[in-house]
Structure 1
Amino acid sequence: MFFDPFAPMMLTFQATRIGMEAQAVVAMRLAGMAGLWATPPSEMTRMVIEKAEAAIEAMQASTHAAMKGAAPDQVLRAGMTQIGRHTAGNLTRLSRMGPARAPFFW
């Protein structure tokens, strides 16, 4: 089995990207709760439901990679790819909504 010396670094970059996207999504959702970001009321329910879906998809991808005999870094990357897909999608979707036109306190 060949060891990729760059695998730990690539996993670190992937985890960093996911973390930054997740923080931006949290910031936009909190701004939406405060009336500063144009989020629909269903966003609060969506943020709870999608966490379970993302966790299940990541677990399935990791399990599938492990059952195929993938290396540990590839198993981790398979699960992180699913989580990253969700964070990137949320960031794109919420960014398009933009700031609220008239916040409640203006």
Structure 2
Amino acid sequence: MPRIATPLDYWTNALQLGFVLAEAQSVIAMRMMGAAGVWSVPKTENKRMLNEKIFAFVKGTTDASRAAIAGQSPDAVTALAIKPIRQATRANHKRLKKRGLKRG
């Protein structure tokens, strides 16, 4: 029998989605500045961007589907769908932020 979700469980998922949105916006901005030659990004950034999106969405969908089939609560299923996307946005934000503006 699945555990009963509390309002805090749903709030946690909403908070994680908020982090995804904020980090994704800053990553998009840094990548766009990189394309404009202002931000220091590696030449492989475009390829990396596509590969990581596919992986994150497939992993999230697979994990969430398995959890739903196993009868887990809706908040647990949602958390599993969000987790790989959140990990990707967090890692990208940290990585690109360290690179900084192009110098000279």
TM-score, normalised with respect to structure 1: 0.89
Tell me the secondary structure at the aligned position of residue 7 of structure 2: coil
Q: Which amino acid in the other structure matches residue 65 of structure 2?
A: T
Partner residue in 2 for 1:71: 73
CA distance in 2, matches of 1:48, 1:65: 26
For structure 1, which runs of at least 5 residues remain unmatched after alignment?
A: none
Identical columns (%): 32
1:10-89 aligned within 5 A: 10-89=12-91
Moved over 2 A (4+): none
Q: CA deviation at 1:95?
A: 1.0
Q: How many residues align?
A: 102
In structure 1, distance between residues paired with 2:21 and 2:5: 26
Q: Determine if contact 2:40/2:99 at 8 Å carries over to the other structure.
A: yes
Distance 1:56 1:72 in 2: 19
Q: What is residue 92 of structure 2 aligned with on the other side?
A: 90
Whole-Å separation in 1 of the counterparts to 2:78 and 2:70: 13
Paired residue for 1:3, among 5, 10, 13?
Answer: 5
Contact 1:54 1:86 in 2 (8 A): yes
* Matched-pair contact (CA < 8 Å) for 1:24–1:91: yes
Distance 1:39 1:4 in 2: 42
In 1, Cα distance between equivalents of 2:90 and 2:33: 18
8 Å contact kept, 1:61–1:82: no
Runs of 5+ unmatched residues, structure 2: none
Over aligned residue pairs, what C-alpha RMSD do you find?
A: 1.2
